[in-house]
Chains A and B, each alone.
Chain A
Amino acid sequence: MVTLTFPTWMEPYRALATGKMTGDQWQALLRQLIWPVMGIATFLLLWQLAAQRIDTSLGQFPGPVDVWEQAGSLVDEHQASRAKEAAFHERQEKYIASRLQQQPEWEPVYRSYTGAPTFFDQIGTSLITVMSGFLLASAIAIPLGIVIGLSSTAHAAMNPLIQLFKPVSPLAWLPLVTMVVSAVYVTDDPLVAKSFLTSMFTVSLCCLWPTLMNTSVGVTSVSQDLTNVSMVLRLNALSHVRKIVLPSALPMMFTGLRLSLGIAWMVLIAAEMLAQNPGLGKFVWDEFQNGSSQSLGRIMVAVIVIGLIGFLLDRLMLMLQRALVWDKSSVQR
């Protein structure tokens, strides 16, 4: 006989299916499923009621149903665009093949498809940009945080600057970053678009602070006992950092990284909107400028998707944290 084992969170559903619910399992079911669903349902209801009462110059504010329809149409548009692209490539292949038959010496020219990016293309662009910006920020913040944490001189020297730049809004950095990128990044054959670099640097500038601060605090708070162990073992500076300091600081570091990624995502949308860089922010701005009767619904889809992706990014960091950090009690929800 085969015995199926269920993960613990599935236990109430199994009990429900077999009709053997205990009081605790009812509690669990309420907490896991029923209360959240009720919460969402209430929100949708309120949204619908409120939306009916708001008239804008672009028509009535979209309710949940309109937004759902717009989400469907965005998917359709994406599929249509992909179909068009496939058709274009097919036409091109045919044309090149037939011309080569007539003129075998002709050098074929392949052109790429130049349709407007769809909603899903914009999501992809945003994700790539946010991850690049976040990785760049981490690559700067973690080593710098370690140095600041280890040396009180470095801390004294850099702390005023950190305090000064930490609260700066992305919108203030953006014009500067744009101008600097335009001035410095001059090539005939660009590897990546300028707009990508502008967004990426803005994101990095804004999101490196939590990682920097948390890493340095984590490094400073290595327990004196462990430092003594390291001294008795005569670990050299490098091993001391690798074997004692880094693992000690890892839980704090991850807390910082999670905060940073959250900020990175928020900053990115704002930066894309303002700078007209490709991505979800631009999608929102374009729809706003477009001003058709569907625009508000489409923006609302973007809002929900932005929230959903932000949530998923945070979950991703949480999983990574759970997998890598030894101190499980430091991993919050």
Chain B
Amino acid sequence: MKALLELSNVGMKFDTPKGQFEALKDVNLKIESGEFVSLIGHSGCGKSTVLNIVAGLLQATDGGVILDKHEVTEPGPERAVVFQNHSLLPWLTAFENVELAVKQVFKKTKSKTEIRDWVEHNLELVHMAHAMHKKPDEISGGMKQRVGIARALAMQPQVLLMDEPFGALDALTRAHLQDSLMEIHAQLGTTVIMITHDVDEAVLLSDRIVMMTNGPSATIGEILDVDIPRPRDRLALADDATFVRCRQQVLQFLYEKQRKVEPMPKRNSENAEAARKRA
């Protein structure tokens, strides 16, 4: 089967005042239609850079991305993004936020009533029908993120890109949204690439987990197939052998193989003391 999305030899170099910085090197990944793929890695490893390259918000300096036989050169609604901090327009209601996207994408193919129905349908999908005429300021963080997802889904993207979508939410809200996302994924069969920091989240949601090595010159370290049948139930999985094994493998990768050693800043007095001891 031919992959829907293909990243081949993607590399990214940034020019900095201190010279060139290679953030990504030789990232190769094939994603099939309907797959749910998570990108996991320590912060600063270039996960977001990969996602932004697929989104078209950044241009890879080496290699390229092909989606459904077309090379990605610019952002577009067929690669809808759910941003980390919802990015709703604060002056529009939930409904209007989704409507803006729908009008932009389906202006030529849908009538006025069809557009309205489609906006409402997508808000219902994320369980936001009851608050669709509220502005972002008037709803909670989790609800904002739901609207953000509805906006992305309403574009009927070929790939849904999610940049740590639940990172800023509390644990309970996050669990709710993860369940909603699984429901939607089962219902629509959307292809999803999601960045996460959360190992449990990655194992629970994904078909495959792409683990990235630490930068500079970050690349894909390992890819783990999560062979757990769907629908998945977070309670039942808690002591499911496959779940535990997958979780173990990701943890091992992150904390043994790619252990990130961040030097603790030493206080001056400690330094002075150490110097005295040496002397």
Q: What is the interface of chain A, defined by CB distance below 8 A to chain B?
A: 223, 225-226, 228-229, 231-235, 239, 243-244, 247, 250, 326-327
Contacts and interface: CB of A to CB of B under 8 A. Distances in A.
B80 A326 contact: no
Contacts of A231: 56-57, 74-75
B248 interface: no
Closest 7 CB pairs of A and B: A326-B91, A225-B87, A231-B75, A247-B91, A232-B75, A233-B104, A229-B87
A233 B89 contact: no
Given A232-B55, A233-B100, A225 B85 contact: yes
B278 to A, nearest CB: 47
A235 B91 CA distance: 17
B90 interface: yes
Contacts of B57: 228, 231-232
Contacts of A247: 89, 91
Contact of A232 (B76, B91, B135): B76
Contacts of B100: 233, 243
Nearest to B136: A326
Given A229-B83, A233-B100, A244 B55 contact: no
Contacts of A327: 90-91
B165 interface: no
Contacts of B85: 225
B79 A232 contact: yes
Q: For this complex, into which size category does the number of interface residues on chain B fall?
A: 20 to 34
Nearest to A246: B91
Contacts of A239: 104
Contacts of B91: 247, 250, 326-327
| Chain A interface helix/strand/loop/mixed | helix
A4 to B, nearest CB: 29
Interface of B: 55-57, 74-77, 79-81, 83, 85, 87, 89-91, 100-101, 104-105, 135, 155
B145 to A, nearest CB: 13
A228 B90 contact: no
Contact of A229 (B56, B74, B79, B89): B89
Contacts of B135: 326
A222 to B, nearest CB: 11
Contact of A228 (B76, B77, B83, B89): B83
Contacts of B101: 233
Nearest to A225: B87
A235 B104 contact: yes
30 contacts: A225-B87, A226-B87, A228-B87, A229-B83, A229-B87, A229-B89, A231-B56, A231-B74, A231-B75, A232-B55, A232-B57, A232-B75, A232-B76, A232-B79, A232-B80, A233-B77, A233-B100, A233-B101, A233-B105, A233-B155, A234-B74, A234-B76, A235-B104, A239-B104, A243-B89, A243-B100, A247-B89, A247-B91, A326-B91, A327-B91
A326 B90 contact: yes
A121 B105 CA distance: 57
A231 to B, nearest CB: 4
Contact of B77 (A226, A234, A250, A326): A234
Most buried by B among A232, A235, A243: A232
A157 to B, nearest CB: 26
Nearest to B89: A226
Contacts of A250: 91
A225 B104 contact: no
A305 B85 CA distance: 50
B86 to A, nearest CB: 8
Nearest to A328: B137
A243 B76 CA distance: 17
Contacts of B81: 228, 232
Contacts of A235: 104
Nearest to B152: A232
